[in-house]
Structure 1
Amino acid sequence: MQLDLIPGGFILSIDGREILRHTEAAPALFVGHGEERMDMYRGNFEIEDYVVERTALTSVEISGNRIEFAVARWLPARFALTIKGNHVLTESLDASINRVWIRIAAEADEHVWGGGEQMSYFDMRGRKFPLWTSEPGVGRDKTTEITFKSDVTGKAGGDYYNTNYPQPTYISSRKYALHVETTAYSVFDFRRDGFHEIEVWAVPQRLEFFAASTFADLVGQLSLRFGRQPELPEWVYGGAILGLKDGENSFTRMQKMRDAGVKVSGLWCEDWVGLRHTSFGARLFWDWQANESRYPKLKEKIAALNAEGIRFLGYVNPYLCVDGPLFPIADAKGYFAKDEQGKTALVDFGEFDCGVVDFTNPQSADWFAEEVIGKNMLDYGLSGWMADFGEYLPIDVKLANGIDAKLMHNAWPTLWAKVNAKAVESRGKTGDALFFMRAGFTGVQAYCPLLWGGDQSVDFTRHDGLVTVICGALSSGLLGNAYHHSDIGGYTSLFGNVRTPELIMRWAEMAAFTAVMRSHEGNRPRDNLQIDQDPQVLTHFARMTAIYVHLAPYLKSLSAEAAKTGLPVQRPLFLHHEDDRDTYAIQDAYLYGRDLLVAPVWQAAETTRTIYLPKGESWVHVWTGEAHAGGETATIPAPLGQPAVFYRKGTSYQALFDGLRDL
C-alpha cells in the first residue's frame, strides 16, 4: 500500500487503486457513540440504533505509517490508523467510541459483490447491507402478502439483506477486495457514487485489502485468507442425496425411486432422531442420537446401504432440547450458556425449549465434537449431516470466554463449523464425511465443506424462490466457498403456499448443474408434492440425476481446481469475462466451471429463456448443437427437461457435453 500526502490530508492506495482519500473538507473517518436496541424472536431480529454522537475527524497527524485523527489540530487525537503491509490497523484513543464510519473511495460506475451469502442482490451497488447472521425471513419482500403475514404472525418476514451468512468482505470491479476484521454488527452502504461507507458497531481490529490483475486471482487470494475446502467426496458423484423423513418407510421410498431410474448417492433422513409435532409442522427431536423406534435396526441398514455404494446422512444442530437425555448430561457439566442469574439459559424454538451449548468453553466444544457428533453419528455410521442453525445465539446470554454475546453472535456459525470439522477430522473422515451448513461468517470456509442456501419458499418468487439460490452461490463463491447447493423444491410452506410439479422440475434442472444434488421434503411434507408422488416429476428427476452423474468427470475436475485455486464450482459470468462489463450484474445465470453456462428457468410457466452470452467466445446450445456468437442476447427454447445450457466452443469436454443429448 502507498501513502501519499495531499494538502489537508492524504491518499492511501493499493497497487495504484485509490482506497482512502482524506481532506478536511471531505473526511474519510467518523467516530462516535451509539445505543442499540436488539430484540430476537426465534432467530429473527429487530435492530435499531440511537446515534448519540457521530463526529467527523477532520484533522490528521502523520508520522511514518501511522495516522492520528482529531476533530481539530488543537484537540487530542481520538483515533489512529497504522498501515502494515496491505492491512490498516485501527486503534481508538478515546474509550467512549463504539461506532466507527469509514469512507472508501468509489467510482460512479463501480460494481461491488460479496457480503457473505446474499440472496436478493448479487451486485450490491446502490443498496445498504446490514451484516448480522439471522433467519433470512419468509418472503423477504415487504410488498408481498406472504412476507406481511410472516411479519404479523412471527416477526419472520425478512427483507432483501437478511441472510444466514453475512460476511464483512466485498470485491470491487476495480479489482480489489476489502475485508473488515470484526464480529460486531456492521453495515456496508454502497448508495453513494463517490464513496462506500463502512459502519461498525465497535472498533474493528483492522481493514484488510487485496488487489490482483484478474478477478480469478483475487478470488484465489480470498480463498487462501479464509480457508479452502477439500475436494468433494468420491461417493457424491453417484447421484442425488435423497431427503426423506418418513421413518422406516424412507428406505422403501428410496428403492422405489431407484427402480424408476433415479441415481442415488445418499439417503438423508433428518428424522433419524425422531419427531415432535408443532403448529409449524413436523419438527425434529433435538437430541442427537438414533431413534430406533422410528428407524429400527438403523445401524445394520446403514451398513447395507454402504455395501451398495449409498451413504446415510442425518441432522444435528448446536442446541439440546430440555426433554431429551443429553440435556441433563450437558447441564450437569456446565456446558450451556448462562442467563443473567448464572443459570442455564433456555431458548424457545417454537413450542419447545433448548439449552445453547457454549462453544467458547473448550470443554463444551470438545464434548459435543466427541460424544455427540463423533460417537453418536460418525461411529454409528453416518457419512454426513445437515449442521443446522448457528445464527440463533441469543444476545443476552453469558458465555464462558467473557465476551459480550453481541460480539460473539456473528462469530457463532464459524465456531459451530469448527466443532463439526473437529469431529470429522478426529475420525480421519475429512474429505469423505460431508456436512452442510446454512449459517456462516468470516472463516467458516476453513471448516465447512459445503454450503446450502437455507430455507427458500416453495415458489418462484423473486426474493425467496428458486432464483435466490443462484445469487447465494455466486456471492458466497467469490469469498472462498467453493461448493453450494439447495433444497430441491424449496423448504418453507406457509399460508397455503405449496409446491407445484413445475417448481420441483425446474429446481431439479438447476441442481443437476451444481456441486451437489439434494432433495428435501420441506417443513410440511404432507401438504406438499413429493418427487415420488407424481410419475412425470419422478421421471424428470431421474433424468436430471443421470445428467448430474454424466457430468461427474467435469465436476471432479472443478473440485480439484477448487482445492488448488479456490475457484468455486458456480461462477459469475464476469469471472472469466472481466473485459465484458455487460456480465457484471447478471445474477440469474452462472458459469459451471469455465466451460458451461447455465441459465435455469426460474419463473413459472416460462418455456423460453433469454440470456446474455459473453463476448469473445462462441457458445454452443447443449440440446441442439446450435452455435451462438458471444456479445449477444439470445432467447432460447427451454421446455421442461431442457434448461438453457451452453458450452464454450473449443472446450476439451465437448464430447462429454454433446453426450447430454442422448440422456
Structure 2
Amino acid sequence: MFRIKYTNLFPAYFSLFCFLILCFSTPANAQRKYQGHHLDGQNLVINVSDGEVMLRPFQPKILETQFYPKGVKTLPLSEAVVLAPSKLMPEVKEKDNVIYFSLEDGIQAEITKSPFHISYFLEKELLLRESEGYFDADTLKGFKFEIQDGEALYGGGERALPLDRKGYRLPLYNRAAYSNEEFAPQMNFGMPLMISSKKYALLYDNAPIGFIDVGKTKENELSFETIGGRSAYVIVAGKDYPEMLNHFTDLTGKQPLPPLWMFGNFSSRFGYHSQEEVLSTIHQFREKEVPVDAIILDLYWFGPEVKGDMGTLDWYKPNFPEPEKMIATLKDQEVKTILITEPFITTTSKKWDEAKDNKVLGTDHLGKPYVYEFFFGETGLVDVFKPEAQDWFWGIYKGLNNQGVAGWWGDLGEPEVHPTELHHVNGTADEVHNIYGHQWAKLIYDGYRKDFPNERPFILMRSGYVGSQRYGLIPWSGDVNRTFGGLTPQPQISMTMGLSGVPYMHSDLGGFVNWDYTQEDVTELYIRWLQYGVFQPVYRPHAQEQIPSEVIHYKGKAFDIVKKYIEYRYKMLPYNYTLAYKNSTTGMPLLRPLFMEEEGNKELINESETYMWGDDYLVAPITQKGARERSLYLPEGEGWYHLWSGKKYDGGQKITIDAPLDELPVFVKAGSIIPLSTKALQSTEQYDSKDLTFQIWRDADVDNHSITMYADDGKTFGNIEKKNYQLIDVLCNYSKKGIDITLSKSGDYDRAPSNRNITLEIHNVPTYPKSVGIDKKKMPAEECDMGYDASTKILKIKMKWSGEQKRILIRDGKPKE
C-alpha cells in the first residue's frame, strides 16, 4: 500500500511556471493557415494548417467552436453541456477574405481567412473576437480572445473579488479558502466561464486544472488555459440578461425545484455531540417560538472526536443510541434531519477495510489504494467516477434515507486534498479534480431518481462545476471568517454564481471561523449577517461551537431582532418559492446585480454591495461595524418604498438612509405585488398556500402591474414537468379613481386548497375608499371584510376565494379638507 504525506502546492510553483511558459512561448496559431471549408450537416468544418475547426450550433443563440489538433479525431465528452443540438439551417456565404456562418435570428460567425481568426456577432453587434484562438504552449492549452473597451467580465466561479474580474488571473483548481474575507481569488467552486456585460456567456468547455487570465498577463486579452482535455468553447448570447441566462441554463441544465422546507430556517453548528443535544436544541426553538425547519448534524454523528472517525458513515451509538427514534421525534416536530458526509475514508474508520476490499478508492499507478495524510488522519478517497464506488457510496445514503434522513451535506468535496499522483478510473487527479464535487452530487441525485423518484433531494455541497445546478446542488461559500470582512463579499459571491447558472450559493450566516472572539464581540455582526440572510437563497446559520450560531442562545435585543427577521423570512415563503419556480423554468437568479435592473447604467457594472432580491426587493446589507446609516443607489425607472417605514424615494439617485441596528435597508419597487403568508409560521409544514396576503404597493406613476405566484405540494419531484401545480395571477390596474384588481388561477395539484383566504394589503391608499366592489361597483359587505389605517394609508380587504376569476374594484374616497 502506497503511503505519502502530501502537501498541495497548487498553484504556487505551477502558476509561476505556466506564467513563464506562456510569456515566452510562440503562439500556436502564428502560422495557422486557412485551407478550406465545408458544411457537415449543420456544422461548419474549417480545415487549417494545424488541424480542424468546427462550428457546431445548438440553437440560434448558442454556438460551439471546437478545435481538433492534427491527429485528433474526437474530443472528450463535455461535463457541462446537456442540451442536444436543434435542427437548424445555417447560411454560409463567402466574400473575399471572410466566410460568414449565420443562424437565423441568432449568432453570426465571421471567419477571417488571413490572418486566421473568428468573430461573433448578434444583430450586427460584435460580441466576441478571438485574438490567438486555440494555442498549445506545451504545459497549457486553450483559447485566447480580445476584451473589448468598456467590457466587464463576470464569473470564473466563486471568488471574493470585485464583480468585474478584469485584471485578475484566476486559478481553475477548486480549493478551500479557510477563514476567507474580502480577498480570496481561489475558492471551492471555480468555473471556466465568463459572463460579459455585452450579454453573452463564454464557456471554455473543459474540466482539467488551469487558469483564466482576464487581462492580467496581457491587457485586453482573455485567456483560458488548462493542462489538457477538451479543446472547445461555447458562446451563448441574448438580447438581454434574462434571455441569455435562459439559453445558458438550457445548455447546462436547469436547477430542479428544491423542497419547500429548504426556504425555512436551519439549526446548524460544528457540531451537535449527542442525540440529547439535538432534541434539546429543537425543543428550545419550539419553546421560544423561533421558526425552524431542519437541523444539520456535523461529523460527531459518526464519532466522538474530530479526527480518526471520518469515513465511518454510521451512527456513533454511545452518543446517538436511538437515531431512528430521534429522527422520528424531530419529524413529529416538523423538523428535517440532515447529515454531513465526506468522501474521505480514513484508515482508522470502521469503513476502511470494506472500502479497500470493495475497491472503491482512488489508486496509485499500480492500482493499489492511494493512502495519504491530511488534517483528519491517514486516508483514502472514494473514486466517485467508478461505477462500483458509486453503488457502494449510494448504498450508504440509501440506508440512511430509509432511516428518515431528509438531506445531505457533502463536505470537503473539492476534494480538499487531492494528490496529483492519485488516479481515478477516468483520469488523474488533476484531470478530474474540478468535476469531483459535480460527480458526487450527480451520484446522490441519480440515486434519488432510481430509488426515491418522488422525493426532492437536498444536496448541500461547497464544490462543483458548470452545470452542477441540474443535480440539485446547493453550494455555500466555505469556512468564512466571523468578521465584517467575511460578510462583505457574500452578495457578490452569490450574484456571480447566480449569473453562472447556480442560484443557491449562500454563506454560513453569522460567519464560521471564530478565532478568539467572544459572543459579545460578534453580536452586532451576527445581527447584521442574519438580517442579510433573509434576502438571500438559504437561511442557514452555522459556526464553530465556541460561540453559538442558533438565535435561541442569544438574549435581549439580539434575540428579538433576529427572531423578527426569521419570522419575516417565513412570511416571504410564497414570494421566495415563486422565485425558485422562475429559476427552475427560466434560469433567472434569485439574487441579482443592480445592472440587471438598469442595464444601460455603466456605473453599476461593478456594483455588488446593493442588489435585487427577485424583481421587487432592493437590499443594501450593512457590512461595517458600528454603521448606522447606509449610502446606496436606487435604479431609475420606478420609485422605491422603504419596506419598514413606507416612505417613498425617487429612482435614479443616490441616497443615504438611516440604518439602526434593528433595521436592514430594504426597498420595494413601486407598483409591486408581493405574495406573503398571512399565517405566522413555525415551520414550512404549516404552509399550504391557503392563507395568502398580496401586498400591493400602489404608486401614482405606475399604471399597471401583474404577478404570477407558484404553488404546489412543496415536496414531490418533477411537479413542474408533470404540470402538478397551480399558478395564481394577480393583475392591478392603477388610476386616479382607484384600483382594479383581478385574481385568477390555472392548473391544479394534489391536495390543493379548494378555497383560499385572501388578504389584499394595499399601500398608499389616500383615504377611506368610496366603494369596494367584487365584480361590480357596489360594496359587498357580505363578501369581504375591510379595514383602513389612516396613519399608514394601508387598506386591507379580506375575502374567501375558490379560484374563479374575480375582479375587485376599489374607488378612492374624497380627501378630508
TM range (shorter): 0.7 to 0.9
Offset of residue 529 of structure 1: 6.9
Q: Which residue of 1 aligns with 2:30?
A: 58
Match of 2:164 among 119, 123, 144: 123
Q: Which residue of 1 aligns with 2:272?
A: 245
Summarize the alignment of residues 77-476 of structure 1 with structure 2, pairs less than 5 Å apart.
Answer: 77-85=49-57, 86-93=63-70, 97-139=138-180, 160-191=184-215, 194-202=220-228, 204-243=230-269, 245-247=272-274, 248-271=276-299, 273-277=301-305, 285-369=310-394, 371-375=395-399, 377-392=400-415, 394-428=418-452, 432-461=456-485, 465-476=486-497
1:75-114 per-position Cα deviation (integer Å, ceiling 9, x unaligned): xx33543222211101223898442353312222111111
Match of 2:614 among 562, 574, 593: 593
CA distance in 2, matches of 1:556, 1:84: 37
Give the 3-state SS of the residue equivalent to 2:511 in structure 1: coil
CA distance in 2, matches of 1:402, 1:291: 34
Cα contact 1:260–1:542 (8 A) shared by 2: no
2:557 paired with 1:534:
no
Match of 2:539 among 514, 517, 523: 517
Offset of residue 203 of structure 1: 5.3
Aligned residue type for 2:456: D
Cα contact 1:127–1:190 (8 A) shared by 2: yes
Give the 3-state SS of the residue equivalent to 1:89 in structure 2: strand
Label 1:329 to 1:286 Cα distance change in 2 as closer, same or farther (>3 A): closer
Aligned residue type for 2:413: G
Q: Which residue of 2 aligns with 1:564?
A: 585
Summarize the alignment of residues 474-493 of structure 1 with structure 2, pairs less than 5 Å apart.
Answer: 474-493=495-514
CA distance in 2, matches of 1:508, 1:323: 39
> 100-109 or 49-58, which moves further after superposition?
49-58
1:599-639 per-position Cα deviation (integer Å, ceiling 9, x unaligned): 11112111111111112121111011111111111111112
Give the 3-state SS of the residue equivalent to 2:179 in structure 1: coil
Give the 3-state SS of the residue equivalent to 1:291 in structure 2: coil
Cα contact 2:346–2:378 (8 A) shared by 1: yes
Cα contact 1:43–1:134 (8 A) shared by 2: no
Label 1:602 to 1:657 Cα distance change in 2 as closer, same or farther (>3 A): farther
Offset of residue 183 of structure 1: 1.2
CA distance in 1, matches of 2:25, 2:229: 14
Give the 3-state SS of the residue equivalent to 1:410 in structure 2: helix
Cα contact 2:536–2:590 (8 A) shared by 1: yes
Q: Which residue of 2 aligns with 1:14?
A: none
Match of 2:597 among 563, 572, 576: 576
Cα contact 2:162–2:606 (8 A) shared by 1: no
Give the 3-state SS of the residue equivalent to 2:641 in structure 1: strand
The structure that has the greater radius of gyration is 2
Cα contact 1:220–1:480 (8 A) shared by 2: no
CA distance in 2, matches of 1:351, 1:653: 47
CA distance in 1, matches of 2:185, 2:313: 32
Aligned residue type for 1:543: K
1:549-570 per-position Cα deviation (integer Å, ceiling 9, x unaligned): 0111100110111111111211
CA distance in 2, matches of 1:283, 1:563: 41
Q: Which residue of 1 aligns with 2:103?
A: none
CA distance in 2, matches of 1:490, 1:318: 24
Aligned residue type for 2:671: G
CA distance in 2, matches of 1:347, 1:45: 20
Cα contact 2:140–2:210 (8 A) shared by 1: no
CA distance in 2, matches of 1:657, 1:544: 21
With structure 1 as the length reference, what TM-score do the two structures score?
A: 0.83
Cα contact 1:102–1:199 (8 A) shared by 2: yes
Give the 3-state SS of the residue equivalent to 1:505 in structure 2: helix
1:559-590 per-position Cα deviation (integer Å, ceiling 9, x unaligned): 11111111121111122321222222111222
Aligned residue type for 1:81: V
Calculate the aligned-residue CA RMSD, in Å.
2.7
Label 1:308 to 1:569 Cα distance change in 2 as closer, same or farther (>3 A): same
Cα contact 1:44–1:137 (8 A) shared by 2: no
> 424-433 or 177-186, which moves further after superposition?
424-433
1:384-437 per-position Cα deviation (integer Å, ceiling 9, x unaligned): 121112212624344352522211111211111111212332332665331211
What are structure 1's unaligned runs of at least 5 residues?
A: 1-38, 70-76, 142-158
Aligned residue type for 2:374: F
Cα contact 1:617–1:648 (8 A) shared by 2: yes
Offset of residue 479 of structure 1: 1.4
Give the 3-state SS of the residue equivalent to 1:554 in structure 2: helix
Aligned residue type for 1:256: Q
Cα contact 1:466–1:490 (8 A) shared by 2: yes
Label 1:400 to 1:450 Cα distance change in 2 as closer, same or farther (>3 A): closer
Label 1:656 to 1:584 Cα distance change in 2 as closer, same or farther (>3 A): same
1:44-88 per-position Cα deviation (integer Å, ceiling 9, x unaligned): 75333255562122233222245566xxxxxxx335432222111
Label 1:284 to 1:119 Cα distance change in 2 as closer, same or farther (>3 A): farther
Label 1:602 to 1:126 Cα distance change in 2 as closer, same or farther (>3 A): same
Label 1:335 to 1:237 Cα distance change in 2 as closer, same or farther (>3 A): closer
Aligned residue type for 2:321: P
What are structure 2's unaligned runs of at least 5 residues?
A: 38-43, 58-62, 73-135, 676-693, 698-760, 764-791, 795-817
Aligned residue type for 2:524: E
CA distance in 1, matches of 2:475, 2:151: 28
CA distance in 2, matches of 1:271, 1:539: 31
Label 1:389 to 1:529 Cα distance change in 2 as closer, same or farther (>3 A): closer
Offset of residue 368 of structure 1: 0.4
Q: Which residue of 2 aligns with 1:500?
A: 522
Structure holding more helix per residue: 1
With structure 2 as the length reference, what TM-score do the two structures score?
A: 0.68
Label 1:197 to 1:239 Cα distance change in 2 as closer, same or farther (>3 A): closer
Cα contact 2:181–2:487 (8 A) shared by 1: no
Label 1:184 to 1:44 Cα distance change in 2 as closer, same or farther (>3 A): closer
Which fold has the larger relative contact order, with Cα–Cα distance below 8 Å and residues 6 or more apart in sequence? 1
CA distance in 2, matches of 1:176, 1:512: 31
